[in-house]
Amino acid sequence: MGTSRLVSRRRQDPGAKWARIAMAVLATVGVIDTGSITLKRWGLLGNLSCPMGADGCDKVLNSAWGTLFGSIPLSLLGLLAYVAVVLLALLPLLPGLQENKADLSRRTWWGLFSLSLGMAVFSGVLLGLMVLKIQAFCFFCVLSAVLSLLMFVLSVIGGGWDDPGPLLFRGTLLALGVLMSGLIWASVVDPDRPEASVTGQGVSPEVTAISTPAAVALADHLTAGGAVMYSAYWCPHCHEQKELFGKQASDQLQVVECAPDGLNNQADLCKSKGLSGFPSWEIKGQIDSGVKPLTELADLSGYKGDRKF
């Protein structure tokens, strides 16, 4: 037989059965992980305890990189990828597929290798954003990255590859493609880039007031403490609240867009909170509506720093 393509060293499956089962188990954990995050983003699940990260998970998931196309949770993409891994891993193990099983096994190993590699590389991009841009720790995000890497390693070790040449060539191209695509996407949605100022339907007016150092410190304190401001782009009082902070400070706040037609909205989450108006502040588990003076927000959050707002 020619060696221009990868062939099986076994009778039917070119890889190891144990590796398939291990990948299916890891992917199932990933389904639970990303599924929980997705349900939380849709307001269908209560608060998730973020081990070792306090409010880090909320800060990461509510960042500009937490959604796709404005409203689709990025975790949903991960959920679909993990489901695909489970199916590819278990499909050749199903009874009644003896005919052409060797070809099916080879194709699914290629699928497992490609999918897990892409997931691992993209997870690396997300971890870089978490550390360098968002500057928060999300246990569930790290767990997903570790699962992706482990699945990739299993696909290489357990895939029964006879010729590593095509594996290395295709893997390199795929990794570079995913890396470049991920970096471009991360740059496009970065709210700190100069051209990121967006105007139009569904976008809040730009804040023009200049923040004082005390306002910036208060905003950082609120975000670090898990405080959330629920807002709507069309709400003049929400804009008034942001102007009290000023542009630099308001950019540090954790603001959730509640209007269903707003950019990056989380309308389902807002609905689950039972908000009575906008803006609404959630501080230490308590929700209070209305524009708040910065001194009142400082008192509610236990801020002890400079109060020259």
Domain annotation covers residue 204: no
Q: Percent of the chain beyond pLDDT 90?
A: 55
Question: 159 and 233 share a domain?
Answer: no
* 205 Cβ contact list (under 8 Å, min separation 6): 239
Q: Mean pLDDT throughout 37-49? A: 76
Give pLDDT, residue 11: 47
CATH value at residue 290: 3.40.30.10
Residues 177 and 239 in one domain: no
Last residue of a domain, one of 125, 157, 189: 189
Query: What's the rounded mean pLDDT across residues 14-31?
Result: 94
User: Closest by alpha carbon to 297, among 305, 47, 151?
Assistant: 305
Range of the domain at 90: 17-189
Q: Do 148 and 266 belong together in one domain?
A: no
- Residues 242 and 250: their CA atoms lie apart, in Å, by 6
Residue 31 lies in a domain: yes
Of 122, 113, 112, which Cα lies nearest the Cα of 164? 113
**Does 39 lie in the same domain as 184?**
yes
Within a 10 A sphere around the Cβ of 69, how many other Cβ atoms? 6
Element containing residue 250 per DSSP (H, E)? helix 247-250
Note whether residue 9 is domain-resident.
Answer: no
- pLDDT (0 to 100) of residue 24: 97
Confidence of residue 63 (pLDDT cuts 50, 70, 90): confident
pLDDT tens profile 138-147 = 899 999 999 9
Q: From residue 124, how far is each of 11, 58, 111, 175, 190 by CA, in Å?
A: 37, 19, 20, 11, 17
Q: Tell me if 205 is assigned to some domain.
A: no
**52 with 136, same domain?**
yes
User: Do residue 130 and residue 251 come from a single domain?
Assistant: no
- Give, in order, the Cα–Cα distances in Å from 50 to each of 136, 183, 248, 302: 11, 26, 28, 22
Structural domain total, the chain = 2
pLDDT digits (tens, 9 = 90+) for 155-194: 999 998 988 999 999 999 999 999 999 999 999 888 666 5
